Structure 1
Amino acid sequence: MEPHPGHGAETRPSVAVVDTGPLLASGRDADVFEYGPGRVLRRYRRGGDTAHEADVMRHVAAHGFPVPTVVAAGGPDLVLERLDGPTAWHALRDGLVEPESVGAQLADLHRRLHAVPARTSPTPGRVVVHLDLHPDNVLLTTRGPVVVDWRNADDGSADVDVALSALILAQVALDTRHPLAPSVRPCLTAFLERTGQPPASALTAAAAFRAADPAVTPDERARIDRATDLVAGS
């Protein structure tokens, strides 16, 4: 991706973290720690600047999109509202939700997000995009679904954002070792029924973005072409 405009120019409260509470969760890029009552600290292991991510989250929150409240941001650290509830992946794994409902919910979150105007440009066709919106980044809280992990978010094309989510689902569906693979196919179908088939150009751009993502494993990268074909043929 291109460098985010305004990186390093954050004037909101910053973080000066010395001690953290217990580790609550670990993802591909970040660890989440308990950080006082009702708060968590999200820390990126490879460093970086969370100012842009915090700005995007505040922008979409101001337009009514469900995200954790940002308390502070600085360097690789984000202090966020602590949320209750499982991820949509975990709820699907535990039989708490149906695959079709997860796909429908994911499509609805895209629709709502792409109604949020771009932060930096009034150019037609540019909206806020998440670029990593999949069921493991959706928490099913008592107030409804809340989207987390906004590191890739920016202004961009809604079609590419949809294509990326479809591609991620397809990669899981093709992974015979993944315990959720059988459930993800109907999830993908329900998602695409509601979003519509992404244009070929958007799917090509999404595949290139996915291939360049350093968080994607070699095994996942090897499935990108087959996943692209699966989405295109759905």
Structure 2
Amino acid sequence: MVGQHIGSGKTADVYIWEAGNVLKLFKQEVPSFLVDQEYLAHEAVMGANLPVPRTFGKVESEGRLGIVYERVDGTSLIERLIHQPEAVTQLANEFAALHRRVHQAKAEKLPGLQSILKRNLHVAEPLTADEKQAVATYIDQLPVQDQLCHMDFHPDNILYTAGGPVILDWMTAVSGNALADVARTIVILKYASLPPNLPEPVKEGVIAIRERFVADYQRAYFAEEEERESEMEAWFLPIMAARLCEGVPSDEKERLVLEIRNRLQA
């Protein structure tokens, strides 16, 4: 039986479930294939010995699909950044190390990155048909790999528990090039809109912390392979274009479209 509601996200609500577990109950507009994709991805990730909650099967409740997860308690990385801004470099280093650990795993059984990017690109508004075709052709020229990519790796999906950090929300996980996953993280952090009602001094402080965090994360991730940083930048164009289908706020969409068109014209 569904218990107390304890959280909500863009795609799902989270409730207390039996045996001390939690139920991630997806919103009705989420297609069933995405729920299946998250479940299969999580099964693959558990086999890679990564710090993730265990899964205990899929269920249906109140006409909605859900996945039962092990309950993990802690504070998100975003909360730590808010309350410990002086620790931004240390937290960025830990974030980068955790991301590199993800990329050490193989993911042959997950959907391929390039095919997912093209699927999302198909409904990326307001790009024109010619612009979409140009980005699709560009995607075909990028190197194919079979590394595990989370593709939504940001501070709100990292939970610090008593046993260490845990990685949440694997719905978008794919098999692909790790550099695309890094590019995706940078795009999310750099372009994500802030709540419009934030007081200006608070907004300025958040932007400063975010910029420092992104710079420190990028430096830490490529500390031992500086030459790969320029290779990663090649992924910004398709990552930005594919993100347009995600219902991002209008101001964020405008910034992304401007950058996409600048890159297409370069």
Shorter-chain TM band: 0.7 to 0.9
> Amino acid of the residue matched to residue 128 of structure 1?
L
> Amino acid of the residue matched to residue 109 of structure 1?
L
> Structure 2: how far apart are the matches of 1:167 and 1:84?
28
- Determine the structure 2 residue equivalent to 1:40: 22
> Amino acid of the residue matched to residue 205 of structure 1?
P
Cα deviation, 1:6-46, whole Å, max 9, x if unaligned, reads: xxxxxxxxxxxxx4111111111111111123211111112
> Structure 2: how far apart are the matches of 1:191 and 1:85?
22
Tell me the secondary structure at the aligned position of residue 53 of structure 2. Answer: coil
The answer to whether structure 1 residue 191 and structure 2 residue 245 are counterparts is: no
1:56/1:174 CA distance change after superposition, 3 Å: same
Larger Rg: 2
Tell me the secondary structure at the aligned position of residue 25 of structure 1. Answer: strand
> Structure 2: how far apart are the matches of 1:40 and 1:227?
40
Alignment of 1:110-189 (within 5 A): 110-120=99-109, 125-172=145-192, 177=198, 178=203, 180-189=206-215
Q: Which structure's relative contact order is higher, taking Cα pairs within 8 Å and 6+ residues apart? A: 2
1:93/1:117 CA distance change after superposition, 3 Å: same
> Structure 2: how far apart are the matches of 1:206 and 1:153?
14
The answer to whether structure 1 residue 202 and structure 2 residue 228 are counterparts is: no
1:37/1:93 CA distance change after superposition, 3 Å: farther
Cα deviation, 1:42-90, whole Å, max 9, x if unaligned, reads: 1111233322211211212211111110111246311000001011011
Query: Is the Cα–Cα contact under 8 Å of residues 87 and 138 in structure 1 kept in the other structure?
Result: yes
The answer to whether structure 1 residue 52 and structure 2 residue 37 are counterparts is: yes
Tell me the secondary structure at the aligned position of residue 131 of structure 1. Answer: coil
Deviates more, 1:42-51 or 1:86-95: 42-51
> Structure 2: how far apart are the matches of 1:208 and 1:162?
15
> Structure 2: how far apart are the matches of 1:124 and 1:226?
27
Aligned-residue Cα RMSD (Å) equals 2.7
> Structure 2: how far apart are the matches of 1:222 and 1:109?
31
The count of corresponding residues between Structure 1 and Structure 2 is 209
The answer to whether structure 1 residue 65 and structure 2 residue 97 are counterparts is: no
1:213/1:192 CA distance change after superposition, 3 Å: same
1:83/1:97 CA distance change after superposition, 3 Å: farther
> Structure 2: how far apart are the matches of 1:82 and 1:34?
8
> Amino acid of the residue matched to residue 38 of structure 1?
G
> Amino acid of the residue matched to residue 54 of structure 1?
Y
- Determine the structure 1 residue equivalent to 2:97: 108
Percent pairwise identity: 26
Tell me the secondary structure at the aligned position of residue 18 of structure 2. Answer: coil
1:193: how far off? 0.1
Query: Is the Cα–Cα contact under 8 Å of residues 30 and 42 in structure 1 kept in the other structure?
Result: yes
1:227/1:175 CA distance change after superposition, 3 Å: farther
Give the unaligned 5+ runs of structure 1: 1-18, 229-234
> Amino acid of the residue matched to residue 183 of structure 1?
I
> Structure 2: how far apart are the matches of 1:188 and 1:119?
29
Q: TM-score, normalised by structure 1?
A: 0.79
Query: Is the Cα–Cα contact under 8 Å of residues 150 and 170 in structure 2 kept in the other structure?
Result: yes
Bigger helix fraction: 2
1:220/1:173 CA distance change after superposition, 3 Å: closer
1:25/1:146 CA distance change after superposition, 3 Å: same
